[in-house]
Amino acid sequence: MLDVINSSVIDVITFEGHSFYLKRDDLLHPEFSGNKARKFHYFLKNNFPNITKIVSYGSAQSNAMYSLSVLAKMRGWEFEYYVDHIATYLLDNPHGNYAKAIKNGMLIKEEEFSVEKLGSNVLFIEEGGRQKEAEYGIRVLAKEIIDWQKENNIKELNIFLPSGTGTTALFLQKALFDMNYSQYTHVYTNPCVGDGTYLKKQFFELEYDEKYHPIIVTLDKKHHFAKLYRENYKIWLKLQQQTGVVFDLLYDPLGWRTLLGNPEIMDKPILYIHQGGVLGNESMLPRYERKYKKEELENENIL
């Protein structure tokens, strides 16, 4: 009844002279945020007769937070969310994921909490949905990709997606392995939060057997999550101009920069996974527009 996640389409786009397949997980569901629909699919599919509340934690603008508010609303559960800090600006001017989650009934708390004290009626979700149950929905994603490969006779394929916690990339590679598709189909990913070492550690926490791990690729430069980078804004504008697709501003710019910066990945057909998150642009875009004027970038002949 609540299984409202259908499969997503695959488009063909051209960017910077290269052709890419694009898995439109951003269009999976109008309310969920892309890959969070995959990660929380399990909680829509199964019955939880004793659960009355979701508890989670993380940042006050996260895509996972917003998607959990949707899940809670759909299931008629309460949703309690813990943050270290809420910026005064956000409290005074609610917008983006924060505003939408509040509208869905989220109770946000700026305080510490203890997992041990949670009752048996509580469904506890790790930050960013980094947990075992995410495997269910990501297997569905893997199956869709394999079916599409079969239909279109695409034997060799490199899949690329940017990582936060690395949960999506890891379970995708694992599912392909389990479905006997890992010989010709490889998952490549780049860290957006932390560096390659951090991402590898995240993989190990979910899966100790390295044969299931995706291939980590990086750029040489250090990158801080949610910080503003001129290069990120430029490639985001370029992507929109050349492909007509709106990408998210937190993960995709670094993802595309890393992909283009490691051209050996493009020796095979590439499937880029658009993991949604566009709602979060509501908070990122004004920050970029204040910092860099679009016209200035245009004058540099970048667009």
Ligand X SMILES: *Cc1c(COP(=O)(O)O)cnc(C)c1O
Give the residues lining the site for ligand X (CB under 6 A): 33-36, 63, 128, 162-169, 248, 251, 275-277
**Least distance to ligand X, CB of residue 161, Å:** 7
Distance between CA atoms of 208 and 170, rounded to whole angstroms? Answer: 11
- Cα distance between the two ends of the chain: 46
Q: By C-beta, is 26 or 80 nearer to ligand X?
A: 26
Distance between CA atoms of 142 and 7, rounded to whole angstroms? Answer: 11
**Least distance to ligand X, CB of residue 194, Å:** 11
Helix 134-151 × helix 167-178 angle, to 10° = 60
Q: By C-beta, is 149 or 275 nearer to ligand X?
A: 275
**Least distance to ligand X, CB of residue 210, Å:** 18
Q: What is the full DSSP assignment across 256-289?
A: HHHHHH-GGGGGS-EEEEE---GGGHHHHHHHHH
Please say whether the dihedral angle defined by the alpha carbons of residues 288, 293, 299 and 300, taken in this order, is positive or negative: negative
Return the amino acid letter for 233: Y
Q: By C-beta, is 48 or 225 nearer to ligand X?
A: 225
CA 223 to the chain's CA centroid: 17
**Least distance to ligand X, CB of residue 139, Å:** 14
**Least distance to ligand X, CB of residue 64, Å:** 6
Question: Whose CB is nearest to ligand X?
Answer: 277
**Least distance to ligand X, CB of residue 50, Å:** 27
Return the amino acid letter for 65: M
**Least distance to ligand X, CB of residue 281, Å:** 10
Q: By C-beta, is 184 or 256 nearer to ligand X?
A: 256
Q: Are strands 18-24 and 10-15 parallel, antiparallel or unpaired?
A: antiparallel
Q: By C-beta, is 39 or 234 nearer to ligand X?
A: 39
Distance between CA atoms of 276 and 26, rounded to whole angstroms? Answer: 4
Q: By C-beta, is 181 or 251 nearer to ligand X?
A: 251
Distance between CA atoms of 155 and 274, rounded to whole angstroms? Answer: 21
Q: By C-beta, is 207 or 248 nearer to ligand X?
A: 248
Return the amino acid letter for 273: I
